[in-house]
């Protein structure tokens, strides 16, 4: 009798630490000393969520989604340049390094890859003035190791006075993203580590929970997240996301023609299953149908993936691009 193959070892639960050497947590009254707002000066603009606005036209501002938190500089040299080292939030591997400030609105940035019971996730460290010597893609890194130096890259977007670390915690939508991106003939190419493909969670909420609850896990956090909307959509095959995160899929293996999926405010798949015959019938010949929206969770329309239309909701332009990445 052939022996049963040994079960793959399960990744341990990862604990995250604050990504700079600062006291954390601190009372909310001290948040102005810890977080760097935008030019508006509103503290909430430094935090995660629909906390900002962008100019859609000369006289029209629309909500803008901020995928991470912005941590301000605490030490500067005689020329006002930040001296704060940026530290790895957890043990992991270096997934990607962008060494050229002008190649991205993230400036000089690093992405670390972490293995967790919730599945592989990523932390991102952006607007650095430089990367730590010897840091290389594929290399291992330990929690607390130096990733780089807090900065203000690209400098044509971020003035030195507002230098900060933009920090994200999130998941990859599709490991085939680079193929999708090249098909669109877009540049510059950051491989799979492009901001469109890394969907963030609220880093501050996660860090506070880790600091307060010794047993807290990322898996628990994902289970507790309330969907902002549900979507029914056609897919030729099972999504790469659910292949990499099988715990998020319910019921029978995907058999087509459509998937019913719960989605966070900025596009993280929270759960999926085969669409029922009734849901597929409602979809008709359309590519996708927004089944329902939880306006309280969506807030000021999240990452603008969905928009109101004819008394209901539909995918917006950003949502069509997001779905295209997801199903590629």
In-domain check, residue 13: no
Q: Please say if the pLDDT value at position 110 is more than 60.
A: yes
- Alpha-carbon distance of 105 to 9, in angstroms, equals 38
Q: Is omega for the bond preceding 25 within 30 degrees of 0, making it cis?
A: yes
Per the structure, the complete domain to which residue 135 belongs is given by 28-212
| Residue of 291, 280, 274, 171 whose CA lies nearest to 225 | 171
Same domain, yes or no, for 54 and 133? yes
Our CA angle for 324, 306, 242, nearest 5°, is: 45
In-domain check, residue 20: no
Same domain, yes or no, for 125 and 237? no
Same domain, yes or no, for 63 and 203? yes
Same domain, yes or no, for 170 and 266? no
- Alpha-carbon distance of 205 to 201, in angstroms, equals 9
Same domain, yes or no, for 146 and 280? no
- Alpha-carbon distance of 285 to 281, in angstroms, equals 9
CB-facing half-sphere around the CA of 24: CA atoms within 13 A: 22
Q: Please say if the pLDDT value at position 15 is more than 50.
A: yes
Same domain, yes or no, for 232 and 186? no
pLDDT tens track for 270-321: 999 999 999 999 999 999 999 999 999 998 888 899 999 999 999 999 999 9
Residue 154: Cβ within 10 Å count: 17
In-domain check, residue 14: no
In-domain check, residue 18: no
In-domain check, residue 16: no
pLDDT category of residue 187 using cuts at 50, 70 and 90:
confident
Boundary of a domain, candidates 162, 185, 212: 212
- Alpha-carbon distance of 131 to 138, in angstroms, equals 15
**In the predicted model, what is the mean pLDDT of residues 3-7?**
44
Same domain, yes or no, for 48 and 109? yes
Same domain, yes or no, for 53 and 193? yes
Instruction: Name the pTM for this structure.
Output: 0.93
Same domain, yes or no, for 74 and 110? yes
Share of the chain above pLDDT 90, in %: 88
Q: Please say if the pLDDT value at position 228 is more than 50.
A: yes
Higher per-residue pLDDT: 3 or 128? 128
| Residue of 143, 145, 115, 144 whose CA lies nearest to 133 | 145
In-domain check, residue 11: no
- Give every CB contact of residue 64 below 8 A, 6+ residues apart in sequence: 50, 52, 53, 54
In-domain check, residue 1: no
- Alpha-carbon distance of 243 to 136, in angstroms, equals 28
What the block records as the tokens of 191 is: 């491989």
| Residue count of the chain | 328
Same domain, yes or no, for 50 and 164? yes
Q: Average pLDDT of the chain?
A: 94
Q: Please say if the pLDDT value at position 2 is more than 50.
A: no
Q: Please say if the pLDDT value at position 104 is more than 90.
A: yes
Boundary of a domain, candidates 177, 212, 247: 212
Same domain, yes or no, for 40 and 87? yes
pLDDT tens track for 155-174: 999 999 999 999 999 999 99
- Alpha-carbon distance of 27 to 36, in angstroms, equals 16
Boundary of a domain, candidates 212, 239, 273: 212
Our CA angle for 77, 82, 86, nearest 5°, is: 135
pLDDT, position 280: 97
Domain count for the chain = 2
Same domain, yes or no, for 238 and 137? no
Q: Please say if the pLDDT value at position 226 is more than 70.
A: yes
Q: Specify the CATH number for the domain of residue 144.
A: 2.70.70.10
Q: Please say if the pLDDT value at position 238 is more than 50.
A: yes
């Amino acid at each position: 009798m052939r022996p049963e193959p040994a079960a793959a070892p399960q990744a341990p639960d990862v604990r995250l630490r604050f990504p700079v050497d600062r006291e954390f947590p601190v009372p909310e009254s001290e948040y102005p000393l810890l977080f760097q707002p935008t030019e508006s000066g509103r503290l909430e603009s430094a935090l995660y969520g629909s906390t900002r606005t962008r100019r859609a036209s000369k006289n029209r501002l629309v909500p803008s989604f901020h995928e991470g938190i912005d941590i301000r500089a605490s030490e500067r040299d005689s020329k006002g340049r930040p001296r704060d080292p940026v530290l790895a939030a957890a043990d992991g591997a270096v997934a990607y390094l962008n060494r050229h400030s002008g190649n991205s609105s993230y400036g000089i940035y690093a992405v670390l890859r972490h293995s967790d019971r919730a599945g592989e996730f990523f932390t991102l460290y952006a607007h650095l003035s430089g990367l730590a010597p010897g840091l290389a893609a594929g290399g291992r890194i330990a929690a607390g190791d130096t990733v780089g130096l807090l900065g203000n890259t690209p400098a044509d977007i971020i003035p030195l006075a507002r230098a900060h670390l933009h920090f994200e915690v999130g998941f990859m939508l599709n490991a085939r993203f680079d193929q999708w991106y090249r098909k669109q003939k877009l540049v510059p190419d950051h491989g799979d580590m492009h901001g469109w493909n890394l969907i963030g969670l609220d880093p501050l909420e996660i860090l506070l929970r880790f600091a307060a609850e010794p047993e807290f896990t990322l898996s628990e956090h994902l289970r507790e997240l309330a969907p902002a909307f549900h979507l029914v959509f056609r897919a030729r095959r099972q999504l790469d996301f659910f292949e990499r995160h099988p715990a998020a899929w319910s019921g029978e293996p995907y058999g087509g023609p459509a998937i019913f999926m719960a989605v966070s405010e900025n596009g993280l798949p929270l759960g999926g299953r085969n669409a029922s015959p009734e849901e597929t019938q409602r979809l008709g010949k359309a590519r996708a149908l927004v089944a329902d929206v939880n306006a309280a969770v969506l807030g000021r329309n999240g990452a603008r993936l969905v928009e109101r239309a004819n008394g209901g909701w539909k995918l917006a332009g950003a949502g069509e691009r997001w779905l295209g990445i997801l199903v590629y």
